Amino acid sequence: MAKRMWIVLAALAGTAAAQEPQQKRTPGYLGVQIGPVDAETRAAFGIPDAIAEGVVIFDAMPDSPAAKAGLKRGDVLVQFAGASVRTPDELIALVRARTKGDEVAYVVRRGDGTIDGRLKLGAAPPAAPPTEQPLEERLDRVQRDIEELDRRLRRGPRTLAQWREAEERKAADARERGDREAFRRAEIRIELLKEMEAEGVRGLEQIERKIDRILERLGER
């Protein structure tokens, strides 16, 4: 879906930092991909017009608390832990405020029906360790970035500031997805474009003189 908010609670739940005496707190984990109730989700999942707000479940992770409770694709979660749920951010906050093992009540709308239930929150599975790309692949990516900059220059009047803003959006998207490699490449391009703006760089020849700096940064990070 265009511009869809795909949020994996497993990735976000791990950032809570509250501590209990002598014991590290384990934030709760629900294990769903979610989005808002809007025109796109209504059309995609056949959500009745009578359901005005809530959080649409796009998917429940295998063996997650949500899957074990029977929540499934297309359900609209309207209450969680005794509170109304209107947006994905509200659900994230409610899950993060709780701890592994907490039992909570929920209410979902499925088609024209309503389902009340209870589930026990789990702990988020460990994140997969980042993989280091071979140097040849990293250099290939740099070359593709150079070619893309060349194409953009030849297309005409787009400014360096606009390019930088586009890269900042890419970096934000990569951060949200947890794609460290894409985030790192976007950061490098943003730094390069900032330097180009400061120096008033416009020609491809001047861009190419900065490639050594990109390679050095790729090696440092």
| Structure confidence by residue, pLDDT tens digits, 106-140 | 999 999 999 999 999 998 887 666 666 677 777 77
Confidence of residue 34 (pLDDT cuts 50, 70, 90): very high
CATH 1.10.645.10 fits domain 7-120: no
Categorize the per-residue pLDDT at 141 as very low, low, confident or very high, splitting at 50, 70 and 90. Answer: confident
Does 54 have pLDDT greater than 90?
A: yes
Q: Which of 75, 83, 91, 73 is nearest to 30 (CA)?
A: 91
The yes-or-no verdict on residue 196 having pLDDT over 50 is yes
- Which DSSP state fits 82? T
Report percent pLDDT > 70 for the chain. Answer: 70
Q: What is the mean pLDDT of the chain?
A: 77
Per DSSP, helices labelled H in 15-115 are 39-45, 65-68, 88-96
- Domain range list for the chain: 7-120, 135-220
Mean pLDDT, residues 172-192 taken together: 82
Work out the burial of residue 179: count CB atoms within 10 Å of its CB; fewer than 13 is exposed, 13-18 middle, 19 or more buried: middle
The whole-model pTM stands at: 0.50
Burial 130-167 (b: 16+ CB within 10 A, else e): eeeeeeeebeeebeebbeebeeeeeeeeeebeebbebb
Res 152: pLDDT: 59
Which of 159 and 212 is assigned the larger pLDDT?
Answer: 159
